[in-house]
Structure formats: C-alpha cells, structure tokens
Amino acid sequence: MSRAPDTTLFPPVQAPAGTTRLTAARAADYGTHQTTFGPLPAHTDSAALLAALRDSGLEGRGGAGFPAWRKLAAVPARERARRRRVVVIGNAAEGEPLSQKDATLLLRSPHLVIDGLLTVAGALGAHSVYLYAQASVLEAVGRALAERADAAGIELREAAESFISGEASAVVNALAGREPVPQDRTVRLTESGLGGRPTLLHNVETLAHIALIARFGAAWFRSVGTKGDPGTRLVTVGSDGHPSTVLEVAGGSRIGDVLRFTGVDTGTLSAVLVGGYHGAWLPAYALEARLDRADLAGFGANPGAGILMGLGERRCPITVAAAVATYLAGETAGQCGPCVNGLPAMAAVLRRLARGDRDPGLPGEVRRLAAIVTGRGSCNHPDGTARFVLSTLTVFADDVAAHLAGHCRKDHR
Amino acid sequence: MNLRAPDPRSAADPTVLLHIDWTKCDGRGLCTEILPELLARDEWGYPLSYGYGSNVPVPDRLLDAATDAVSLCPRQALTLIDR
Ligand SMILES: Cc1cc2nc3c(=O)[nH]c(=O)nc-3n(C[C@H](O)[C@H](O)[C@H](O)COP(=O)(O)O)c2cc1C
Ligand code: SF4
Ligand code: SF4
C-alpha cells in the first residue's frame, strides 16, 4: 500500500518568482534550503530528466554552452541500462581568475548543487559521484554534505589551482590521481571518462539549475530569460581586472543594465570583456547588447561562464591585453607543441606593441600566430587565447594605430 | 577536445581523419616527410595542415601513406579515425 506524501512535513513550496532562483535561500543550511525550495523529487528517471532538460533549453554554465540534454543523451543507453557504472562529476574548479560565481554558489546554495548531483546520479543509476572544488570552499561544502544522509556517497575533492584545472579531461585526470592537465581525446567523456567509465561532467551552476528544473519543470525555467537564453544565470561583474560582485540575472539581460546595477559607471568604460580571458571584448557603443548568443555572436563572444569585466577608458587596452596574454601563455599545460611555443610567441609580440615598438608588422604577426595555434592543442586553451587576442586587435584598432604612430596617451600601468 | 571536422561536409569529402595527439608529438616531422601533400611544418617543426587543427581529412589516394605515417611515428602520436 502506498501512502500519500506527508504534507505537514513537506508543505508544497511555491516555485521562486522573478530572477532570484539559485540565490533564493536566505541561508546556506539544509533546513532553510528545504523550506525555500521544498523537497527534491524522490526519483527522476533518465527519460523524464532528458525531456525536461530538452524542453528547458538549459545550456551548460561552464563556458562552452553545450545543451545539457544533449550531454545526458550522449551517455550510451547500454551504459544507463548497466547502472552503477556511470560517473557523475560536479565541476567547481573555476580556474578563471575573473570568475567567482561557482565559489559564491557553493557558499550560498550548496544544497542546490548537491541536489543537482543527486538528480543526475539517480537518473543514471550512478554510484560514483564527485564534487571537484577549490580549497577555499571545501570546509563549507563539507559541512553541507554532512548535513544530509542522502549525500553520503558524494566525494569531495580539492581542485588543482591553475587556469586550465577546470577543463573537463583535466578534472578527470586529477580525480584519477594523475597530473591535472588535459588529455588528448578521440572519444567523448560520456563514452569513456574516469577509469574508462562513461562520465557526465557539469559545471556546478548547471547542476543547481537541474535541481530546480527537476522540481518546478521546464516551463517554469523558461518563464524568465529570453528564447535564446532561457532561465537565469550567475554573472561575475568587475572592472579593471578585479571581480567584485556575483549576481543572478535573467538570461538575455542587457549588459549595460547589469553593469550599472552593480554600480559600474558605464559612461567611463571603453569596452567590456565578456566571457573572461578566453572571451571577447564588447566595445562601449554595444553595451546595450543582450547577454545571449545571438547578440554577442557578432563580437565573437558568448555568455560563456558569465564574466563581465569593464575596462576604464583611461587604461591602455593593449597593455592590459598583453598582460592577460602573458598570463595565459604561462598557464599552458606544457604538453602540446603549438601551445607551448605559440602562446608565448604571441604574447611577446603583443608586449612589444604595448611597450611602444612601432614596427608596423606587429599586428599582422599577432594575427598569424593566432591562426597557427588555433585548433592545434589537445584542449581549447590555444583557441580561447587566440580569440581574446584577435578580439583585442579588432575592437581596439584605434589604440593599435596610436601605438604604431607613437602617441598612445592612455595609462600604461 | 578538438574533434572539429571541416564544414560543410559533402559526400565527396574524405571519411578518414588523421588525428594528431599533440601531447605526444615531438615535432621532429617524420610524418611531414611521408605526407608532404597533407602536412607542412610550422616554425617549431610540428605538423600543420592549413584549415585543419588536430583532425586532418585524408583523401583516399593518401590513405596508404597516412597508414605508414601512423605506424612510423616514433611517438605514436598519430591515429586514423573513421567518421
Ligand atoms: C582551458 C579550459 C578551462 C576550463 N575551466 C573550466 C572551469 O574552471 N570550470 C568549468 O565548469 N568549466 C571549465 N571548462 C569547461 C569544461 O571543459 C566543461 O566544458 C564544463 O565544465 C562542462 O560543464 P557544463 O556542460 O555544465 O558547462 C574549461 C575549459 C577549458 C578549455
Ligand atoms: S593545448 Fe595547451 S593547455 Fe591544452 S593540453 Fe595542450 S599544452 Fe595543455
Ligand atoms: S612523426 Fe609523430 S612525433 Fe614526429 S612530428 Fe609527426 S606526429 Fe609528431
């Protein structure tokens, strides 16, 4: 005989309204989490989860923006049938220095991430579940895991500290006890990942959205945001290289509005870096663009991991870009020839340009090196670095010209 | 992961890709001697195929040479992938 759920224990909870979703709980503890969001559905089978994710339009929040339902669908059906074999990983490595949203999410709403892991693991029958997170949040997350009996199977692991530590195959290497660097791959992780087992890896924000979609459904998810970028997303906003605020915004919000909301005076910016160090610049005249794929495509940017970094109009963008390119070159995992040789070479040419070398061939040389490294690494680090550098030359063409003419008057710190 | 294939594809396009594992390749360039039509060398010696990254489409007439390159690569950095 089955019993109706005890509604005195778990009164039905209203779905969060407005754009405060992932951040709706007033405190991080499990009790507050449950009263805010209600109980996690006991079990969501994989077909139901797949349908809900497809209808929701949720895209991964780790940077690449891959549709969540397609990744779930890529786990071979035979493996789903064999239960237990599948590995599920929550990725909170957050190697990008301009991003703080994953750490913030884990400090504010750890139980949504845990719910997301349990939802996906339950649907796939997975018994190996990992949460890969920065040292700074381990203690708080460990406390959250200890608060609930259903999370006993989740293994919390400390992430390596490097820009590329959060690349999916680098996470798998780290969890396998190997060097935390990317692997050369000819098959997807969903086919063969950790220990040769099918592996589903998601950014922790993606998992938190999955936890809410499992509760309140796809239509609710889409009720905020735009058609091209449904739901909400966490963004890290800052200026001049310093991330300062994490907030939850509707998908497709106007970028200028988001910046102004956090107190940035958009009138003083020359551009905004969208998507972090692997992203692209949005020039000041385009700040009313929406944070969605369609509006950003023309600038070579995408919402990515939700990073918006304003650049003050007094600062020399070539100097800033040379410093970023130098940092990225130093973060090569040192495995792939074109990346190991090409990124430092590209950064060196950009530094010459920044320091006032007026050789007119420099921009062309940067472009040539960017083309040579693109697509020629085992991970997308060269591609992302080239994208950033090329965007700099395009958006700041006037500054490049000023450097070559020898009269850049901006602040070169 | 760079599984990028050239787009758009047509029926006449090669169906076999030569995959380069950059984490193994040492750039001494033996493969570029065996497959000069397919692979040039970049300024550091690494195999370079214009317009392609880690997966280079192999025309049928070069399949034998590509197979040789795979077996002769001293670092076992090359594989053929059917798509
Ligand atoms: C160099 C590099 C660094 C990356 N760093 C991170 C990271 O810190 N966190 C993250 O979630 N994804 C990172 N990614 C993306 C992951 O490879 C992967 O696509 C993502 O975690 C998948 O989650 P999602 O589908 O939920 O977006 C990185 C990718 C690259 C190429
Ligand atoms: S492309 Fe660069 S960062 Fe990526 S695996 Fe190769 S050496 Fe490492
Ligand atoms: S033969 Fe092998 S190791 Fe040598 S350059 Fe070619 S792929 Fe690299």
Task: Give residue-wise pLDDT tens across range B35-66.
Answer: 999 999 999 999 999 889 999 999 999 999 99
Per-residue tokens: A175 = 């969890």
Strand, helix or coil at A282? strand
The answer to whether B83 contacts chain A (CB < 8 Å) is: no
Q: How far is the CA of A386 from the centre of ligand 2 (A)?
A: 13
Q: Which residues of A359-391 are buried (b: 16+ CB within 10 A; e: fewer)?
A: eeebbebbbebbebbbbbbbbbbbbbbbbbbbb
Which among A230, A228, A196 is positioned nearest to A213, based on CA atoms? A230
The alpha carbon of residue B54 is apart from the nearest alpha carbon of chain A, in Å, by: 6
- SS3 (DSSP) at B62: helix
- CB crowding B24-45: b at 16 or more within 10 Å, else e: bbebebebbebbeebbebbeee
- Return d(Cα A288, Cα A272) in angstroms, integer: 11
**ipTM exceeding 0.85, yes/no:** yes
Q: What is the CATH number of domain A318-405?
A: 1.20.1440.230
The confidence band for A2, taking pLDDT boundaries of 50, 70 and 90, is very low
Strand pairing partners for B40?
A: B48
Taken in order of first residue, the domains within chain B and their CATH numbers are 14-82 (3.30.70.20)
- Please count the residue pairs, one from chain A and one from chain B, whose beta carbons lie less than 8 angstroms apart: 66
Do residues A207 and A49 lie in contact, with contact meaning Cβ atoms separated by under 8 Å?
Answer: no
The domain defined by A30-222 folds into Rossmann fold (3.40.50)
Q: What ranges do the domains of chain A cover?
A: 30-222, 232-312, 318-405
Substitution site in A87, A91, A343 for ligand 1 pocket (most atoms within 8 Å of beta carbon): A91
Q: Is B48 within 8 Å of A188 when comparing Cβ atoms? A: no
Q: Which class in CATH covers the domain with range A232-312?
A: alpha beta
B45–A183: do the CB atoms touch at under 8 Å?
no
The model's confidence at residue A3, banded by pLDDT at 50, 70 and 90, is very low
| Residue A371 pLDDT grade (very low, low, confident, very high; cuts 50, 70, 90) | very high
Token representation of residue A200: 């589903």
Q: What is the pLDDT of residue A16?
A: 86
Which of A191, A339, A378, A381 to mutate to test binding with chain B, by most B CBs within 10 Å of its CB? A378
